[in-house]
Amino acid sequence: MSVLEALVYLSVWRAVAEARGGSVDGYDARAFAAYFLALMIVHKLTLSSITGNFAHGVREGQIASQLLRPMHPLHFQYANLIPLRMMMGATMLPIGVLAIVLFDARLAPTAGHLAAACLVIPLASFQRALLDSLIGCLALWIVRIDGIRDVYLTLYIFLGGQFVPVSLLPETARTIAHALPFYWVLGYPTELLNGRGDLGDLPAGLAVLSGRTLAARLTLQAVWPRGTRALETVGS
C-alpha cells in the first residue's frame, strides 16, 4: 500500500463522510484521516514481498540453485524483510507527522492501545510472512501464480480493512473478515494503533494470530519437501 493509495482512499471516505452530514457510522473526516494514517504504519511494518519475489525466483531458476546452499531459500526472503521494514518504518515517521498536520487526524491511542499494538503487530508480521510463503510455494507446482496472488491481495484490500474500516462493512462481510486472517493481520492492529480497537478482543486476537501462525508454520513444513520434489523451472 503506497502513500498515494492511502491518500486516495482517505480522500474518498472523507468525501463520503461530508456527503452524509459529516460522518459515517462514527467516522468523521478526522477519524478517517487517523485510521488511514495508522493503516499506512501497520502496513509498512507488516509488509511482505515474499510471494512475488519467490515466484520470480522459481521462474528464473534462482530457487533451484539456492536449494544447493545450506541456508533454506525462504530464509533469504525473511532476511530481506528486516531491512525493508526498518526502512519503511523510518520513512513513515516524517510522513505520519506531516499527515497529522495536513489532515488534522484524530490519532489518540491510549497507553493500553499502544501496548496492545506492540503485542499484536509482531505476530501479525510473522503471520503475513508465513501466509505469503505458502502462497509463494504454489509456484513450485504451477510456476505462474499471478492470478492467485491478485486474488490474495484483493482479499487483503477488502477484508483486511485497507479500502475501508472493517467495522463499516455489512454484517456478513464483517463476519467473514473476522473468520479469515486478513483482518487480524492488518485491520485489528490498525484499529489498536488508531485508538478505536476493542481491548476486549485482545486475548482473542493474540490467540488467533498465535494459533494461525503455528498452523501456517506446520503447513509450510509439510508443503516444502513436496514442493521441492515437484519443482520444474526453466533451466533447472
C-alpha 78/C-alpha 83 separation (Å) is 10
Whether the per-residue pLDDT at 232 is higher than 60: the answer is no
For the chain, give every domain's residue range.
3-230
List, as one string, the DSSP characters of 84-115. Answer: HHHHHHHHHHHHHHHHHHHHT------HHHHH
Instruction: Kindly state the average pLDDT of the residues 121-150.
Output: 90
93 vs 109: CA distance, rounded Å:
16
Q: How far apart are CA 224 and CA 137, in angstroms?
A: 7
Q: How far is CA 212 from CA 158, 179, 218, in A?
A: 20, 11, 10
| Least confident among 34-38, 99-103, 222-226 | 99-103
| Alpha carbon distance 20, 188 (integer Å) | 26
Q: What is the mean pLDDT of the chain?
A: 84
| Residues 169, 112 contacting (CB under 8 angstroms) | no
Rounded-to-integer distance, Cα 183 and Cα 161, Å: 7
Which pairs from 143-146 meet CB under 8 Å and 24+ separation? 143/55, 143/58, 143/59, 143/232, 143/233, 144/55, 144/59, 145/51, 145/55, 146/55
Give 157's pLDDT tier (boundaries 50, 70, 90): confident
pLDDT in tens, 170-193: 999 999 999 998 999 999 999 998
List of residues 6+ apart from 120 with CB closer than 8 A: 184, 188, 189, 192, 202, 205, 206, 209
Strand partners, 27: 24
Sign of CA dihedral 37, 204, 24, 150: positive
Q: pLDDT tens for residues 64-109?
A: 778 877 888 888 888 878 777 777 777 777 777 777 777 777 777 8
Q: β-pairing, 23-24 with 27-28? A: antiparallel
- Residue among 92, 63, 61, 59 at smallest CA distance from 77: 63
- Rg of the chain over CA atoms, in angstroms? 19
Q: Count CA atoms within 13 Å of residue 121 on its CB side.
A: 24
**CA proximity to 66, closest of 52, 82, 53:** 53
